[in-house]
Structure 1
Amino acid sequence: MSPLIKALVAEHLEITQALNRVKQLGIQSQEGRDTLLAAKKGLLAHLEKEDRLLYPALNRAAQSNESLKRTLAVFAADMNQVSSSALAFFDKYASDSSGIAFAKDFGGLFATLSQRIRKEENILYKKYDEVSG
């Protein structure tokens, strides 16, 4: 596993742990809101790192690999939905503290991010190691 992929997987773990901490603390507490903000910052930094280091290498390799090109197109479309949902969630709950709505929305966000993380680690990151290695 390349150093980049190791770092991205570690960031996935940090983001997941931060979200689990938010779930434990609740959004009503200041610590919960602060942890939510930290999770948002971590997620945005992670996405920026992927955009800067992961995707350019994959896009170069996809120029001569139709299968990889299709895979990247699917991941890009999915990421547009995931990122807009995540950002809407973070914006909504930066100041809102409604417990039942938060629990429902949080469950949806956590499931969406968890699924995306699994796909990235099982498909995309492996493709990166194949083409960069």
Structure 2
Amino acid sequence: MFLLDWLFGRHHDKPQAAPAHAAPEAGPCAPGTSIRYSADLIEHLVRDHRSMLDCVGQISRAARSGRLDEAAPLLERFRTDLHGHLLVENVRLYVYLEHTLAGDPASHALMHEFRHDMDEIGKKVVAFLARYARLGEDPSLAASFAADLDAVAAALADRIRREEEVLYPLYAPVA
């Protein structure tokens, strides 16, 4: 329950230990929400990016060395990390930006474009992960895996670069 509380900025009377990546909430909520600005959110998301890219690199090295039995659990770790990242990004970043950028049509439109683009990339990555979920058990999947992984890795790296350069700077405390 704590993750949902953290995602939605809810507080309880009883003090609870916060996860290492959760900073104290600061400032007012985004208009019309209970989601507050978090000073370390972008740092947390960037750490997620580095971790996911590292995991994809490990998957690639294992697969290219013919160690599909090692690649399979790494794919599962990547799937779990990606889903967690997207959940935090969708609630903590996009919902916050949706409300705080409402008065800035150009930034608001840019944020929506990023969100739509991520939905499309997310569908492709999820399809890739579903297709190769049995990689360690089904040798017939090995033939197409490396090329498909390269395509997913390239799309992910490009998306991460654009998020960090263009989208993340839009995240700021409510004035």
Amino acid at match of 2:146: A
Does the alignment pair 1:128 with 2:167? no
Q: Which residue of 2 aligns with 1:84?
A: 123
**How far apart are 1:51 and its partner, in Å?**
1.3
Distance 1:67 1:14 in 2: 31
Please state whether the residue corresponding to 2:171 is helix, strand or coil. Answer: helix
Greater helix content: 1
Does the alignment pair 1:4 with 2:41? yes
TM-score, normalised by the number of residues in structure 1:
0.91
Amino acid at match of 1:8: L
Amino acid at match of 2:150: G
TM-score, normalised by the number of residues in structure 2:
0.70
- Aligned ranges for residues 85-124 of structure 1 at < 5 Å? 85-96=124-135, 98-124=141-167
Identity of aligned residues (%): 27
Deviations 1:95-129 (A, max 9, x none): 14522311111011001001110111001111113
Q: Which residue of 2 aligns with 1:21?
A: 58
Tell which structure's C-alpha radius of gyration is larger: 2
Distance 2:108 2:69 in 1: 44
Amino acid at match of 1:14: S
**How far apart are 1:67 and its partner, in Å?**
1.0
Structure 1: stretches of 5+ with no match in the other structure:
none
Q: Which residue of 2 aligns with 1:33?
A: 72
Q: Which residue of 1 aligns with 2:36?
A: none
Amino acid at match of 2:132: Y
**How far apart are 1:79 and its partner, in Å?**
1.0
Structure 2: stretches of 5+ with no match in the other structure:
1-38
